[in-house]
Each structure stands twice: as structure tokens, then as C-alpha cells.
């Protein structure tokens, strides 16, 4: 079987640290180009734009879009119209309506579209979903707190409309919760703390509930120093299950039941190749919908100005 000729559009930190090694390690792919006006990679052709990439590489099969979400709609539709399969980094677009239009474009082009949620491929997530499927869930508490200055230095687009602020990591937690909990859940309240010099929140406190009244709380913070917290606690009739370290560890009460190696992005690319080979798409917008609900219904408070150098 011939490898899939793939290019990366947008070659920033996530693309370099995660997408590139995942592609290089997967025999299903051949990396054939990079498209970025400010970054390049030796050993493959480099193009300043997606336009130039599509014009000069007719043998290209697929594009991984790692550009900021504000650019995803036009770029995805352009790549699909050119007959290319498309993977969308999370979030899949700046708005829900844009993602719906991208889906329609993929259908018209008869090409595979993958809205990727990398945290769902953390090693313990599947184990957590299986464990919870056989227990009665009583309460869920999500804690997703990290240091934005460490993980996203200089990424000013995070603080502009469409950048999502603390929901950029927070949506990872929501992508896991929507995968492991057995029923859909819905926003009840949201409190968003927005720096006075920014357009997006630096912290958020959310409550959700499903149709049976299950209480679900989430605390997101972009100013956590010291140890970072990426945990989901689920109280059940037989004890507490905790997905820790972003989904890499599964704890039952105080006992570590499972810990696996990081294969989030390799898992994404395995899934993408399956979709391409079988002519399917996978476009779940549920995590993005929860974020949109928080922006729509959240109560905003003004926080101190944010500076990368503080």
C-alpha cells in the first residue's frame, strides 16, 4: 500500500514537537512539504503559503492544518476543493458554523475530514471510559490548570477573539469528558475571568449537568505555577476514579491502575490514515460547542492585565 503524501501547514511549536515526529514514525505517511511563511524544515520543500503548496505539489494527498483556528475555515475549504484530505488541529475552527461549512466542503469533494482531539488518545482515556461504563457516576470534577507563560510563550493570538484563552487547554479536558462520560451534558453556569487588556479568559469556572442531573464541575486556570494539573475526578458508587496527567494515568481511589506512554499524536495519525483508506470523515464538534456555550452564557469579570513577561 502506497504511503499517504502529507504536508503540514503551519509549522509552529505543536507542529514541530508533536505532528512532525508522529508523521515521521508512521509508515502510512510520507512527509512531502511544509507550508509556513515564517518557518521551514530541511529535507523537504518549503512553501510560504498553502496556495503555493497546492499549486506546486499535485501529488499531495493530505494536509494537516496546524495554523491558528481563525485561518482554518478558508484553508480547509481550499485544500478540500483541491482534492486533498484534511486533518484539523484542535479546535477545528473559530466558530461552529465554519466547521459545518468545512464538513459540507468535504462531502462535496468526497475527501476525508478529521477534526482531531489529541487528548482523547491519551493512553488511559479508553480504560477510563470502559471502567465508568459499568459503574454509577455520582459527581465529576475537572481541574485543568497550567502556566501559559511556559506552554504558550509569545502566542498573542490566544488573547484575541477566536483564540479562546484558557479554553485552548481547557477544551482538551472537555474532549476527554465527552468521550468517557456515558451521556451528553450541558452547561449550567460559567464564570469567565478576562484580563482587562485581553479578549479571552485567563481562568474559568463551569458547571454542567446531564439529563439525569449529574453534577459536573470544571476549573480552568492559565496562571498555575509549580506542578501542573490536568486531572478529571469521577466519584462513583464504588469509589473515585481519577484520570491524571492529562489522561496518561488511571487511579482508582489511591491506587494507580494503569499508566501508558504518550501516544496522543501517533494515535491521531493512525485514525486519520484509517479514515482516508476507508473514505470516511470524523468531525465531532461537541467540545467546541461547550466552549461556545460558555462564551454565550458566561458571566465575565475583569482581571489584572496579562503580560508574557510578568
65-123 pLDDT per residue, tens: 999 888 999 999 999 999 999 999 999 998 999 999 999 999 999 999 999 999 999 99
- Could you give the residue numbers annotated as active site? 90
pLDDT more than 90, % of the chain: 93
pLDDT confidence tier of residue 309, bands split at 50, 70 and 90: confident
Asked if the model's pLDDT at residue 310 lies above 80, the reply is no
C-alpha to C-alpha distance for 136 and 157, rounded to whole angstroms: 41
**Domains, in order of start, for the chain:** 4-115 (3.40.50.720), 119-261+293-303 (3.30.360.10)
Q: Which residues contact 113 (CB under 8 A, 6 or more apart)?
A: 76, 80, 85, 86, 88, 102, 103, 106, 281, 282, 283
Asked if the model's pLDDT at residue 266 lies above 80, the reply is yes
C-alpha to C-alpha distance for 68 and 156, rounded to whole angstroms: 11
pTM: 0.94
The values of phi and psi at residue 183, to 5°, are: -130, 150
Q: What is the pLDDT of residues 187-226, one digit of tens each?
A: 999 999 999 999 999 999 999 999 999 999 999 999 999 9
Q: What is the pLDDT of residues 236-264, one digit of tens each?
A: 999 999 999 999 999 999 999 999 988 99
For the CA atoms of 240, 143, 139, 292, the dihedral, rounded to the nearest 10 degrees, stands at: -150
C-alpha to C-alpha distance for 185 and 177, rounded to whole angstroms: 9
Residue 257 CA: distances (Å) to CA of 85, 99, 126, 132: 38, 38, 13, 14
Q: What is the pLDDT of residues 52-80, one digit of tens each?
A: 999 999 999 999 999 988 899 999 999 99
C-alpha to C-alpha distance for 249 and 258, rounded to whole angstroms: 6
Residues across the chain? 310
- Give the closest residue to 27 by CA, choosing from 43, 8, 7, 3: 3
- Give the closest residue to 121 by CA, choosing from 248, 287, 224: 248
Amino acid at each position: 500500500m502506497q504511503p499517504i503524501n502529507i504536508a503540514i501547514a503551519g509549522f509552529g511549536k505543536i507542529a514541530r514537537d508533536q505532528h512532525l515526529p508522529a508523521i515521521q514514525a508512521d509508515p502510512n505517511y510520507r512527509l512531502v512539504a511544509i507550508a509556513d511563511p515564517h518557518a521551514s524544515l530541511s529535507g523537504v520543500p518549503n512553501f510560504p503559503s498553502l496556495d503555493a503548496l497546492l499549486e506546486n505539489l499535485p501529488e499531495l494527498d493530505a494536509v494537516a492544518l496546524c495554523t491558528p483556528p481563525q485561518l482554518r475555515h478558508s484553508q480547509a475549504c481550499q485544500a478540500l476543493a483541491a482534492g486533498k484530505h484534511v486533518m484539523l488541529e484542535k479546535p477545528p475552527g473559530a466558530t461552529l458554523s465554519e466547521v459545518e461549512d468545512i464538513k459540507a466542503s468535504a462531502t462535496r469533494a468526497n475527501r476525508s475530514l478529521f477534526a482531531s482531539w489529541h487528548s482523547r488518545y491519551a493512553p488511559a482515556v479508553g480504560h477510563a471510559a470502559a471502567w465508568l461504563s459499568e459503574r454509577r457516576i455520582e459527581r465529576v470534577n475537572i481541574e485543568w490548570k497550567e502556566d501559559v507563560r511556559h506552554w504558550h510563550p509569545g502566542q498573542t493570538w490566544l488573547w484575541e477573539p477566536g483564540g479562546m484563552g484558557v479554553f485552548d487547554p481547557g477544551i482538551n479536558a472537555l474532549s476527554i469528558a465527552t468521550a468517557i462520560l456515558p451521556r451528553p451534558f450541558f452547561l449550567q453556569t460559567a464564570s469567565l475571568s478576562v484580563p482587562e487588556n485581553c479578549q479571552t479568559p485567563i481562568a474559568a469556572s463551569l458547571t454542567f449537568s446531564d439529563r439525569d442531573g449529574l453534577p459536573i464541575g470544571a476549573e480552568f486556570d492559565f496562571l498555575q505555577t509549580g506542578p501542573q494539573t490536568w486531572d478529571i475526578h469521577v466519584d462513583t458508587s464504588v469509589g473515585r476514579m481519577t484520570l491524571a496527567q492529562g489522561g496518561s494515568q488511571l487511579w482508582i481511589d489511591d491506587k494507580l491502575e494503569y499508566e501508558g506512554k504518550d501516544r496522543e499524536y501517533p494515535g491521531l495519525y493512525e485514525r486519520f490514515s484509517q479514515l482516508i483508506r476507508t473514505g470516511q470523515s470524523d468531525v465531532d464538534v461537541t467540545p467546541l460547542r461547550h466552549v461556545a456555550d460558555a462564551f454565550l452564557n458566561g458571566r465575565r469579570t475583569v482581571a489584572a492585565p496579562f503580560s508574557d513577561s510578568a
